[in-house]
Structures are given as C-alpha cells and as structure tokens.
Structure 1
C-alpha cells in the first residue's frame, strides 16, 4: 500500500464508511455486531466473497474483487444477460446452503416496521398519501409465512461483481440472516425489473411474481427515511420513489 496515490471514499454516512486504498477496501463500522455478522456470513457463504485481509475493530480490511458491479441504480446495466443469469444461479446456491446460526426478521416485525415507516412518510409529507397507501397495499403480499433460507438481505446490484459472464464476488454481508428467498431476488432487481427474467432463469425455479413486486414496494417504503437521514436521495432516477411510482402503474412484469 506504500505506492497508493489516493484514498477513494466509496460510501460514508453516520453509521459506517467504506474506503478504497489501492486494492484494499477498509470498512469502518460503529456496530461491531454488524461487522461480526459480515465476517461470519462470508465464511459460511458457498459463493465467492471478498478475502478478509484483517479485522481490527472498528476496521475490516477486504481485498478488492475482480470485475465490476452488475449494475448501478438509475443507470442501464452493461452486463450481459448471461451475467444476470449467473447472478441468479449464485443466489440459488446461497439459498440452498445451510442456514446461518442467527435469526432474521419475522413477519410481525416487518409489518410493524412497515407501518412505522409509512406513518413517517405521511406525517412528514415525504410522499403523496395515495402513493404510500397504494404501495402499502401492494407490500402486504410479502408479509406471509415463508420457509427461511440463507439470505444476503442487502443484495443490491452494486454488491454483485461480475467479470464477463462470471460472478466474481458478492459484497456487504452485514445484513445476512435467515430470511425470505424472494426478498433477495427482489432486491437484486429493484430498479432493474427488465432483468428479472434472466435472474429467475439462472435461479432455476418458478417464483410468485406478485411477491417480488410486493418486496419492491416494501423495501422502498422502509428505506426512504433511512436514505434521507443519511444524506442520500430516494428521488434519484431509478431509486425508491421511482420504484413506488412504477409499482402502481403495474408495468413491472418481465
């Protein structure tokens, strides 16, 4: 690292920051339990993950992954259909793995969180009431019993790296837990519904598309307050507000 010319800030907010120093990523997190989950999940996951170089709380050092992100929110993906299918296959491998030894959120907790976030959106006049109510109704389909699987739980497109048609690694495992398989599938296609068909082809089994749609709405409703409070813009093209608007137009099917 002695020959490094600059430090790149990848993301920074009140809870954590990620810096790139040459070929090393430094993750600084105030919540050591979250970092502990990340390290443990990467050790258990049957798919490629970044190599842990060292861990000295509150800093976790990871080796850079080969390739580039599968996509970015708000931008057309340059990845091939085969790369999206490979992402679906990697997700299926994760979901087929043994469960991690810690729980995830249950339906009752998610419903309570969703109600709280919708109340905030309405009292703060952050979104039109009809947009909140319509998506809250759509989101209800996700709040049903599911068989838990090993989920990444924050499987944004920027967290999946590909080189050509190969998945070279998956980043940011701090939210990994036992959860609903369809939540991961919805997260990776949030803002990119045109690639859902390829992801599902790689995943290799039929899923309930209405539940995918419900998770898009639920994740977006739950995420807006956090984004605003941490300095991010949920109104960016392809972002959470766009997802909510598109959901009510019912033009999302692959």
Structure 2
C-alpha cells in the first residue's frame, strides 16, 4: 500500500496524498462545488477528478513540479515563469464564472475587513503599528474599478506545476470565480517579485505594478492572523511578514 502523506491540514480542510491520488477533505461542500465547476470551465490544465464522495474529492496528481513555494527558493527558468504568465493570461481572458471569487469581493467589503484586521494586528501586538499603517496605505491602490476576469483566487506558486518550460497543471480552485486579474498576479509572485518581469512578459500586456504590490500588501495583512491561528508561521523568512517589511 502506498504511504499516506499529509499535504496540508487545518481546522477547515485537509489534503492527503496516496500514491498519485490526492484526497481533499472539506467540511464546506460549497468550496468543493466551486473547485469542481471551476476546473471544468478553466481553459488551462487542471487535475483530473477521479471521484467524489462528500466530504472527499479525489484528484489525480498532475505531472511536473512547482516553481517553488512562499518562503523557499524559486526554481525554473525565465521561460518557465513566462509560460506561467501566459497560462494565467489565458485563464483571465476566458469568460468569467457566474459567481464572485476570492478576488472579487467588493471594495467596500475589502476595505472594512482590512481596517478591522489592521486594528486587530496592532491592538494584539502581532505586528508593529508603523508596519501595518504603511502597508494599509500601500493596499489602497487596489481599491479601484476593475474588469471582472476568470480568477483562480489562490494562485500561489505551489499551485502551478511545470515540466521544463510548459505548464502541466494548476491545482486548488476552491477560491475561483469572477475577480480582479491583478490579484492573481500578485498572489503568484508574492515573495518572489524578482520573477514579476518574466511573468508579465508571458502575460503579454502592461499591468499596473502599484496595484500588484497593493494586492500583495493587502493579502499579507489579511493572512497573518489566520496563519498563526491555524498553525502556520508567516514570520518565516520570505513569507508574509517579510513581504510587508519590503514595503517599508
């Protein structure tokens, strides 16, 4: 029997790997519904759905390897990063789904959530006030009108697989939906902004770098407390807190 490996596990969901099969266990079946539907609509390589028996979704492993992970070294050639940018552009150019995704929250809702989270980070001594204040100001550039796109919503580099210079699969679609395309680009290059030029070259169109940095600050501010409460360490070198410090 193949060894069972825990890929990720916290109070909301868990993912296990058994051989070439990933088993996703999620108490919120709405997230699984979105993941399955988004993968069926996305014009990019996605995992094959093997079977589904709530609360478990079984997916086939995709070939290749990731370009790295947040807090770790980045890998892959400039051409591989550009290929990822081209795949992301193909996704963004597709007809967006009917539902809003993580990158599609309203400006008013995001601003209110961000203000509440920033106050909590400072009040509870999680982060210094000047670091939070500076990044809250940077984040404001994300609060502007945007054209709805088909967004992944959680496009970490660990979710994009390549083989050589070819994208072989994009995984974890539970946050997908209509949203701001630049949120995906910010998430993909978070902590690895040295590859942003390569990604944009593959993406094939000019983008607002200030907005991408704004989304990076916003995502990091909103993530820090959640990560700590779920057993992750955003203070690890290269991770969310370092992203926030880079804005100072």
Please give the alpha-carbon distance, in whole angstroms, between the structure 1 residues aligned to 2:134 and 2:119: 14
Question: Structure 1 residue 116: deviation in Å?
Answer: 1.4
Please give the alpha-carbon distance, in whole angstroms, between the structure 2 residues aligned to 1:53 and 1:181: 29
Give SS of 1:155's match.
coil
Alignment of 1:173-184 (within 5 A): 173-184=173-184
TM-score normalized by the length of structure 1: 0.95
Please give the alpha-carbon distance, in whole angstroms, between the structure 2 residues aligned to 1:139 and 1:177: 22
| Two-structure CA RMSD over aligned residues (Å) | 0.7
Give SS of 2:76's match.
coil
Q: Is 1:32 aligned to residue 34 of structure 2?
A: no
Please give the alpha-carbon distance, in whole angstroms, between the structure 2 residues aligned to 1:208 and 1:116: 27
Please give the alpha-carbon distance, in whole angstroms, between the structure 1 residues aligned to 2:247 and 2:58: 39
Please give the alpha-carbon distance, in whole angstroms, between the structure 2 residues aligned to 1:209 and 1:78: 23
Residue in 1 that maps onto 2:200: 200
Please give the alpha-carbon distance, in whole angstroms, between the structure 1 residues aligned to 2:56 and 2:134: 42
Question: Structure 1 residue 101: deviation in Å?
Answer: 1.2
Residue in 2 that maps onto 1:12: 9
Per-residue deviation, residues 195-219 of structure 1 (Å, max 9, x unmatched): 0000000000001111111111000
Question: Structure 1 residue 99: deviation in Å?
Answer: 1.0
Per-residue deviation, residues 128-175 of structure 1 (Å, max 9, x unmatched): 000000000000000111111000010000000011111000010000
Q: Which sits farther off after the overlay, 73-82 or 7-16?
A: 73-82
Q: Which runs of 5+ in 2 are unaligned?
A: none
Question: Structure 1 residue 51: deviation in Å?
Answer: 0.3
Residue in 2 that maps onto 1:252: none
Alignment of 1:72-151 (within 5 A): 72-103=69-100, 104-151=104-151
Q: Which sits farther off after the overlay, 100-109 or 138-147?
A: 100-109
Please give the alpha-carbon distance, in whole angstroms, between the structure 2 residues aligned to 1:13 and 1:110: 24
Please give the alpha-carbon distance, in whole angstroms, between the structure 1 residues aligned to 2:97 and 2:222: 24
Q: Which runs of 5+ in 1 are unaligned?
A: 249-254
Please give the alpha-carbon distance, in whole angstroms, between the structure 1 residues aligned to 2:203 and 2:47: 22
